[in-house]
């Protein structure tokens, strides 16, 4: 597994390791950005009520945001490889905050698509890949666990964001609530970004960027492997299911008679349980390998979605949230370490950006398709069945990657 002392390459005589500060700052940024983003499901109903748009058209702005975010994350990953995270995250924080602030002025559907879909989408492009990629460069032995801690910021945000948004909306209305979200977000992200550093000092670093993964692949080399496309496709499937649920679980719960505040708490519960999933599965991935974590995550994802189809009571929704949150946490945490394990670190940000685009591509398609199926079928059951089928396909792809890995190990030995 390479030189484990790499994790402490820049530890000072006092025992301070700057990589731990990187983890803390990245965690705070993740919490702020994704807390606001995952609150969309809470803003969804008030906007539908005020404007009378269809669910598919309203969710379409979320889909556009996801597509833009994914495309921009590729460039942000490359910029992080070259220039480090400070400039990338400062720019992203300003744009993401601006996108939310502009939501205060929405009066037409195209406003929603420009402000939320385009401006916020560009800002969100630097919200995940740069931070996760930088953590991968600072740690080797504990990469999975540290990635899990940072990714847990997404869960903290998903846990805190919806109830905070619900409370703010009840007091100030949805427009002023977006204004508050945007202002706080920009301040927190820009401030934390000023203390981010790209990677340990080269002179003290010890091993090269390839670390325990052996040789590093270029993007072209990686894209010529079966593992790359199987990985990309299964991440598309995960993004489809995760974002579809994040947007539609609150309306679904309200439709079956659950109170709006309880429905928002279901979304928060997903975020809360994803935190445990990210930390637990991050540590497990350090011991077993990240693809094994993906297999477990997709099994849990499939089970939760099949459970959701007939669910009507509050306890059933909370049980769904628990299992779904664990699955979501395990998958998100293992994404960056698996890129490192399969393709090395030299082009980690760029390759992770491409893979992460698969997640946002699925996230763009999922909410729209589920909303469209609802509009046509008049209910969510057929839509959630589609999500179950997609999660099953993603599980098969994870098994394919594991099988290829096992064969390559035998061949190399």
One DSSP character per residue, 238-261 reads HHHHHHHHHHHHHHHHHHTT--HH
**Neighbour tally for 169: CB within 10 Å:** 21
Residue pair 278/284 in contact (Cβ under 8 Å)? The answer is no
Domain limits, the chain: 4-412
Coil/strand/helix, residue 140: coil
Check: CATH 1.20.1250.20 for 4-412? Answer: yes
Kindly give the confidence (pLDDT) of every residue in the chain, 413 residues in length, as a single tens digit, with 9 standing for 90 and above. 333 444 444 555 456 788 889 999 999 999 999 888 878 878 877 888 888 888 778 878 887 887 888 888 888 888 887 788 888 899 999 999 999 999 999 888 889 899 998 999 999 888 888 888 888 888 877 888 888 888 888 778 877 888 888 888 888 888 999 999 999 999 999 999 998 887 665 444 334 444 444 567 888 888 888 999 999 999 999 999 998 998 888 888 988 888 888 888 888 788 778 888 888 888 888 888 888 899 999 999 999 999 999 888 899 999 999 999 999 888 888 888 888 888 887 778 888 888 988 887 888 788 889 988 988 888 889 999 999 999 999 999 999 988 887 766 666 65
- What residues contact residue 260 under an 8 Å CB cut-off, 6+ apart? 45, 166, 250, 254
Residue pair 270/328 in contact (Cβ under 8 Å)? The answer is yes
Calpha distance 157→154 (Å, rounded): 5
Tell me the chain's radius of gyration from C-alpha atoms: 20
For residue 35, the number of C-alpha atoms closer than 13 Å in the C-beta half-sphere is 28
Q: What is the token pair recorded at 290?
A: 């990240």
Question: In terms of DSSP H, where are the helices of 173-289?
Answer: 174-193, 202-205, 219-223, 226-255, 260-288
CA distances from 381 to 20, 229, 312, 385 (A): 44, 30, 11, 6
């Amino acid at each position: 597994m390479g030189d484990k002392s790499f994790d402490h390459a820049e530890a000072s005589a006092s025992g301070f390791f700057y990589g731990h500060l990187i983890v803390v700052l990245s965690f705070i940024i993740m919490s702020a950005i994704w807390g606001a983003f995952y609150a969309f499901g809470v803003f969804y109903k008030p906007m539908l009520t005020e404007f009378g748009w269809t669910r598919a058209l309203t969710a379409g702005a979320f889909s556009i945001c996801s597509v833009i975010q994914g495309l921009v994350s590729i460039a942000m990953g490359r910029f992080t490889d070259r220039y480090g995270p400070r400039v990338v995250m400062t720019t992203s924080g300003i744009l993401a905050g601006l996108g939310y602030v502009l939501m205060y002025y929405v009066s037409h559907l195209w406003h929603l698509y420009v402000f939320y879909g385009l401006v916020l989408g560009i800002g969100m492009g630097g919200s995940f890949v740069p931070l996760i990629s930088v953590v991968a460069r600072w740690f080797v032995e504990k990469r999975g666990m540290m990635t899990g801690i940072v990714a847990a910021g997404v869960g903290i945000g998903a846990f805190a964001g919806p109830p905070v948004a619900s409370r703010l909306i009840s007091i100030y209305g949805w427009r002023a609530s977006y204004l508050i979200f945007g202002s706080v977000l920009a301040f927190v992200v820009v401030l934390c970004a000023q203390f981010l550093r790209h990677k340990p000092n080269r002179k003290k670093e010890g091993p090269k960027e390839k670390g325990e993964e052996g040789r590093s692949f270029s993007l072209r080399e990686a894209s010529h492997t079966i593992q790359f496309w199987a990985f990309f496709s299964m991440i598309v499937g995960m993004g489809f299911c995760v974002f579809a649920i994040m947007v539609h679980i609150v309306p679904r719960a309200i439709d079956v008679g659950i109170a709006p505040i309880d429905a928002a708490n279901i979304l928060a519960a997903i975020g809360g349980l994803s935190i445990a999933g990210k930390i637990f599965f991050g540590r497990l991935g350090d011991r077993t390998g990240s693809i094994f974590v993906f297999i477990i995550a997709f099994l849990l994802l499939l089970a939760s979605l099949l459970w959701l189809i007939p669910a009507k009571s509050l306890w059933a929704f909370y049980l769904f949230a628990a299992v779904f949150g664990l699955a979501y946490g395990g998958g998100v945490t293992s994404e960056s370490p698996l890129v490192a394990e399969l393709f090395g670190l030299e082009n980690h940000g760029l390759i992770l950006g491409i893979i992460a685009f698969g997640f946002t591509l699925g996230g763009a398609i999922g909410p729209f398709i589920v909303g469209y199926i609802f509009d046509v079928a008049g209910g969510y059951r057929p839509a959630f069945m589609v999500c179950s089928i997609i999660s099953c396909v993603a599980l098969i792809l994870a098994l394919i990657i594991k099988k290829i890995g096992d064969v390559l190990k035998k061949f190399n030995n």
